[in-house]
Amino acid sequence: MILIQKNEEKIRLDIFLSQKLQISRSQILNLVKKNLIKINGSFIKKSGVIIKAGDIIEIQKIESDDNFIKKSNIFIEKIYEDSEILVINKPPFLATHGANSLKEESLVDWLKANSIQLSNISGEKKEGIVHRLDKQTSGALVVAKNNISHNFLSKQLMEKIMGRFYIAIIDLPLKNDIEIECYLARNPTNRLKISKTNKIDSARYSKSNFYKLALSKDMKKELILAKLSTGRTHQIRAHLESINRHIIGDKLYGYSGESYRIMLHSYLLYLEHPKNGKMSFKANIFEDMRNYFINYFDMEQINEILDNLSNNLIH
């Protein structure tokens, strides 16, 4: 609840709340459209109303609809939790948030089913979601538990303060560590894919670094580390395809071997906590990836590499 003071009156509501909460005016409009903002006990219909001294502004929490999943059968590891954020280890085959075409449970459904407090400035289907992982991608992901934390983390993404280190298994070793810098756009012949393009007017700049970690026993596959400088859709997958490398299991981007889920994992996450300063988190690999390492790699070497990464890259 916010009580408007004399020095705060005669200003548009969206401008006032944008400054007060440090969120965008479009996010304020989204809250208004969902009947989540009251002034003096009444829901408002326009975000541009002028506020005056003595007005009381209330921002409601989104209520679940009739289709809300009351119970969840999914187990998700909580890596860290406090009143501001939750860091989880997302399992593979779990969508980060819902969509009209999605029938099965999403991470957001699981969060609601477990009565976890969530930010709501991104809308009902994306409550708490600051960044996402593709459905088959596993690993570390942070959830915002209130709107102030959500905005704080979103700014870190834009300013490259928050980030992740990914590990991936690819079907052909890199010649050397490599930096890939290019423009990406929707593939004109397959709308499900993102591809490198020279038509920069309709594309987005992207940059990734890839590092060699370990070769498989037959020397044909490789564990690599990926660090993104931008966060484009399918960026790692599209960049690797641009140099004729493919993540194991990624048939959309050209992998042609046996069927596996996409062997891509968000292993390390670093961020600045809204109250506690710099923090880092490690997400352990899942059984399917571990089994792949056991079958095709020297597991002792893999364990040593992963331990070194967590010791040297997180602070």
Same topology between domain 2-59 and domain 77-158: no
Task: Give the relative orientation of helices 287-296 and 299-313 as an angle to the nearest 10 degrees.
Answer: 130
Question: What's the pLDDT score for residue 20?
Answer: 73
Task: Specify the CATH number for 77-158; select among 3.90.1580.10, 3.30.2350.10, 3.30.360.10, 3.30.1300.10.
Answer: 3.30.2350.10
pLDDT single digits (tens) 38-84: 999 889 988 889 998 888 898 876 444 433 444 567 889 999 999 99
Tell whether the model's pLDDT for residue 92 goes beyond 50: yes
Tokens 């400035």 correspond to: 121
Domain ranges in the chain are 2-59, 77-158, 163-313
Tell whether the model's pLDDT for residue 252 goes beyond 60: yes
For the record, the structure tokens of 98 come out as 């819902």
What is the CATH architecture of 2-59? Roll (3.10)
Residue tagged active-site, from 14, 134, 201, 218: 134
Which one-letter amino acid corresponds to residue 45?
A: K
Of residues 314 and 118, more confidently modeled: 118
Residue 87's beta-bridge partner residues? 80, 142
pLDDT single digits (tens) 159-214: 989 999 999 999 999 999 999 999 999 998 998 899 999 888 889 999 999 999 99
Q: Indicate if 250 belongs to the active site.
A: no
Question: What's the pLDDT score for residue 175?
Answer: 96
**The model's pTM:** 0.77
Domain covering 163-313 assigned CATH 3.30.2350.10 in the classification: yes
What residues contact residue 308 under an 8 Å CB cut-off, 6+ apart?
Answer: none
Tell whether the model's pLDDT for residue 314 goes beyond 70: no
